[in-house]
Structure 1
């Protein structure tokens, strides 16, 4: 329900759009320093971005996925790293809302809490009295240096039993930061590695992943709230898809900004905008951008509608969200590549946005869960009547 304190979807999207000039201004600094700028963090907080997936009882907005995806897409028009990090923060904040209510009281004890996280269980835990001891390393931990909590997947090693994946909630101050984020794309996301060395996690701060992957969550107070009835992977996939959607739009806007007065070198075209080739390139990129938006928003709409109605999910629907995410990434990358090709030799300078947009969208397409080929294969496999070959649905 919208109140005077709860902004509408359009309010949040408008606020995100108003941040685009700041993000474009700070994009190079964030690339060079491999983290978000302080004034960008302040702007995001003022816009209410950190409250979108926080339960209402803590002052949050409980925004649906369509709202979050659109906000992320607007931010990506300004800077891909900012959009990606905001997407991760919103996914992980939502995951925090699946934990027992007492744990949520601890996590959301302050304003504008930022929660990041990793779904790949690359650390281990052993049981002890009252909880588990965690050791291990997580790579690609986006935004962790500017976060308060980490929701990370871990393999619980049970004496005499089968290993079990769990999701832990750990304060950032209890983890070691490894500054290893030297990359070609999404540099501003600061996706460094983190290490746990004999970190104690009490029982109320970890969840068994088996039930979580079947929408069996531990929060009693969030159980009736539509956004907290949604499945984990479709929620995460539809959230990050907004980044791809926004990067395609960023490329189109960046290209048009440089177009007036540009010529095509070593040709008779004194105006690039007069060349039929340019017309074809602009049209092709725009169509691909529209296709990326279609897939991103179709996935978000499916999550929201089924959550609102309390409907169960089929395997095909879960796989289709993965397909939509992969298709959004692929189409966005194709759109950016078309315009990068049309941008000329001067576009390789670091102050020209298209080269950064290209590197960011390429990085997005290489993500293990987002990779288009992987998601196409998964969806085709299900359509052919075979069982999915992954638990990440």
Structure 2
């Protein structure tokens, strides 16, 4: 058994714990320490960490397969673990001095955060002073570092965007995550009040977007030279596809066990129920095929082949449309799931709520993504990061 197969098998072993904890994850608005610790102990967080730092330096296929296993039972858990794994990959894009720092105590760290430019950065000797408030910091209940982004301000005017890392001890974590969906992701706000950020913890956002980060010059493996947006979109895809498969399987079991309220007839004998089961199972299989296509894309494409803005716009639109496809498939099943599927104890309503939130995520919103693809194909400037 290869290392990749062993890690995926470990994820399958952890998945029953994820399923058992799913209700409490949603209710408590965060993952349990037990689930996070199990993933850390199994070596899942360092799937894409360079070998020079004790990581596995494997491929996106391994990461996607691990996240998919969790997505079948709990969208929130899959989302947070995907970001923890993915942000350990992002650590390897920073200057070597930061990589030495973040991997000093082991081959992984827990890093929530976002590259949306929420902060203001004031240049000072040796770095910057960061201040501001950011939202959507998934996984903030357990953190060693925070990934942030901000605009360099000179004379009150923004000059350029920088991504930067800050130790969790220097961040004020605000426990205000209370959403209709993705409730278990602890994606609360984070505030920085005049925090000094040394230069070695900083990267130009443009360099990340173009695959020209400091890490791309340190590590020869092609994965560290990929433009960051296709990878970040790849963090989300196995979460959503896993949710579709999980919802389809739950709906099938639910239908087999249900009886009509007024006639006591078995619901599975209704043609509409049979059609919905078939639609859900086939739809989940199609989503899995789309995921495998994206796996092959990220694991084989040369970074230079996705330098063109048109190609990145196409990737973003594709993933956005998959998000919409998954939501519609789960919603169609819910129409035939009965009132009991809307109880908080039912996985079906969690899958629906979670996908309803994800389909309007800043990177997954279909309208924004397809608009930008149309813009660049018409020779117009994009109006969102690509």
Q: Same fold (TM over 0.5)?
A: yes
Change (3 A) 1:321 1:220: closer
What is the root-mean-square deviation in Å for CA atoms of aligned residues? 2.0
- Counterpart in 1 of 2:19? 24
Within the alignment, does 1:73 sit opposite 2:68 as a pair? yes
- Counterpart in 1 of 2:211? 215
Q: Is there any run of 5+ residues in structure 1 with no aligned partner, and where?
A: none
CA contact (8 A) 1:365 1:372 kept: yes
Within the alignment, does 1:332 sit opposite 2:332 as a pair? no
* Higher mean C-alpha displacement, 190-199 vs 203-212: 203-212
Change (3 A) 1:212 1:274: same
CA contact (8 A) 1:144 1:191 kept: yes
- Counterpart in 1 of 2:247? 251
Measure, in 2, the Cα distance between the counterparts of 1:30 and 1:329.
22
Within the alignment, does 1:140 sit opposite 2:136 as a pair? yes
Secondary structure of 1:304's counterpart equals helix
How far the C-alpha of 1:177 sits from its partner, in A, is 0.9
Measure, in 2, the Cα distance between the counterparts of 1:195 and 1:220.
30
- Counterpart in 2 of 1:265? 261
- Counterpart in 2 of 1:386? 379
* Higher mean C-alpha displacement, 14-23 vs 190-199: 14-23
Q: 1:290 aligns with which of 280, 285, 294?
A: 285
Change (3 A) 1:207 1:340: same
CA deviations 1:259-315 (Å, max 9, x no partner) are 333123335x721222111111112222332333233332332222114x7645333
- Counterpart in 2 of 1:233? 229
Change (3 A) 1:310 1:66: farther
Q: Is there any run of 5+ residues in structure 2 with no aligned partner, and where?
A: none
Q: 1:316 aligns with which of 297, 310, 321?
A: 310
Within the alignment, does 1:361 sit opposite 2:368 as a pair? no
Matches within 5 A, 1:43-82: 43-82=38-77
Secondary structure of 1:270's counterpart equals coil
Measure, in 2, the Cα distance between the counterparts of 1:289 and 1:154.
38
Within the alignment, does 1:301 sit opposite 2:296 as a pair? yes
How far the C-alpha of 1:159 sits from its partner, in A, is 4.2
Secondary structure of 2:150's counterpart equals strand
Secondary structure of 2:380's counterpart equals coil
CA contact (8 A) 1:296 1:328 kept: no
* Higher mean C-alpha displacement, 191-200 vs 279-288: 279-288
- Counterpart in 2 of 1:183? 179
Change (3 A) 1:320 1:78: same
CA contact (8 A) 2:210 2:226 kept: no
Measure, in 2, the Cα distance between the counterparts of 1:227 and 1:39.
31
How far the C-alpha of 1:141 sits from its partner, in A, is 0.4
**Between Structure 1 and Structure 2, how many residues are aligned?**
385
CA contact (8 A) 2:211 2:228 kept: yes
Measure, in 2, the Cα distance between the counterparts of 1:63 and 1:362.
32
How far the C-alpha of 1:90 sits from its partner, in A, is 2.4
- Counterpart in 2 of 1:372? 366
CA contact (8 A) 1:140 1:193 kept: yes
Q: TM-score, normalised by structure 2?
A: 0.94
How far the C-alpha of 1:38 sits from its partner, in A, is 1.3
Q: 1:114 aligns with which of 110, 119, 122?
A: 110
CA deviations 1:8-40 (Å, max 9, x no partner) are 2x3322222222211111011111211110111
Change (3 A) 1:300 1:256: same
Q: TM-score, normalised by structure 1?
A: 0.92
How far the C-alpha of 1:337 sits from its partner, in A, is 0.8
Secondary structure of 1:215's counterpart equals coil
CA contact (8 A) 1:292 1:328 kept: yes
Change (3 A) 1:327 1:197: same
CA contact (8 A) 2:249 2:281 kept: no
Change (3 A) 1:289 1:372: farther
- Counterpart in 1 of 2:340? 346
Q: 1:97 aligns with which of 89, 92, 100?
A: 92
How far the C-alpha of 1:182 sits from its partner, in A, is 0.7
